[in-house]
Homo-oligomer: A and B are copies of this chain.
Amino acid sequence: MVDVKKLINDPRTVVAESLEGFAAAHADLVEVHADPAYVTRAGGAVNGKVGLVSGGGSGHEPLHGGFVGVGMLDAAVPGAVFTSPTPDQIAPALQAADGGKGVLAIVKNYTGDVLNFETAAELADAEGVTVRTVVTNDDVAVEDSLYTAGRRGVAGTVCVEKIAGAAAERGDDLDAVVAIAERVNASVRSMGVALTACTVPHAGKPSFDLPEDEIEIGIGIHGEPGRRRIPLASADEITEMLLTPVADDLGLAGGEQVLLFVNGMGGTPASELYVVYRRARALLEARGVQVTRSLVGNYVTSLEMQGASVTVLRLDDELTQLWDAPVHTAALRW
């Protein structure tokens, strides 16, 4: 059944089998429900706490299942690879996350995710669960215009999940958690680059064809091609192409404090992510911006794609505090 060079048994079972492994490895943190597939905290919903649910296509691990746990998500819903999950998976996850104070659904802005979560929210609502939705759209590679489906939700989603999760944990009500999530989303921007495509198991070949000496700037996280293809450049040059639109779009001014998040797309060595981080930080500092929090690693991936994205979140005291608040999930812990 394996005709694609991956550590899998069968493209049709890879998501389910991976979830089984995830469940067994992290039984202290999560429970994984099969058919329909969704992940909840080991203890289930926390009574009296606003629930947080996110989801989307698989292939972006650790997003979202890796962020289920104290201080972050209550449930995550994995679809097929790069395919948003279906309402019959999402709705029970929303219900399972409800501790009586309503549920915030954090949805990355893609037509499929938005539509499926929309339907699921209706279904959950019919079961008496109050659902509010925040759609993340931090990717500055895509203009938010009449001519697009709007900016995509990418790595900045981790910031929304972490900080809204902390707000829910400290006891904020649904309105307040929604407000925080929206504030984070409004304060975070990202942009990514691909050096290689990734191969979706069921497709069996790379998601796009890229010559040895070219790279894609402005990629999404589903193996789509980027906004433009350019000749291979140095890490410093590439980082500048990513950081500049991010910082400009945020309108960062000297003296501001930010979180700098360099995210690997799955197949890039950590050492290279730090080379990108080094340059991104220098560019921010050259603008007089202070990097007070950092995150470097593979958090929102595209299978084994080589590449990275740069995310900047404008911080204030409250967001910093919520970022620092304890978190205990498979992928993020402090």
Contact = CB atoms under 8 A, between A and B. Distances in A.
A128 B276 CA distance: 40
Interface residues of A, number: 64
A312 to B, nearest CB: 14
- Provide the main secondary structure of the chain A interface: mixed
B275 A7 contact: yes
Nearest to A196: B5
Interface in A187-205: 193, 195-196
Interface stretch (A94-102, A106-114, A117-125, A262-270): A262-270
Contacts of A296: 21, 25
Most buried by B among A61, A269, A291: A269
B276 A21 contact: yes
Contacts of A3: 232
Given A7-B308, A235-B7, A306-B304, A24 B269 contact: no
B2 A232 contact: yes
A125 to B, nearest CB: 32
Contact of A5 (B21, B195, B276, B294): B195
A18 B234 contact: no
A62 interface: yes
Contacts of A14: 271-272, 275
A269 B303 contact: yes
A59 B271 contact: yes
B5 A270 contact: no
Given A20-B278, A24-B278, A278-B17, A269 B301 contact: yes
Interface in A314-334: 333-334
Interface of A: 1-3, 5-10, 14-15, 17-22, 24-26, 58-59, 61-62, 66, 193, 195-196, 212-213, 215, 232-236, 238, 266-279, 281, 291, 294, 296, 298, 301, 303-304, 306-308, 333-334
| A-B CB proximity, top 4 nearest | A21-B274, A21-B278, A7-B272, A61-B270
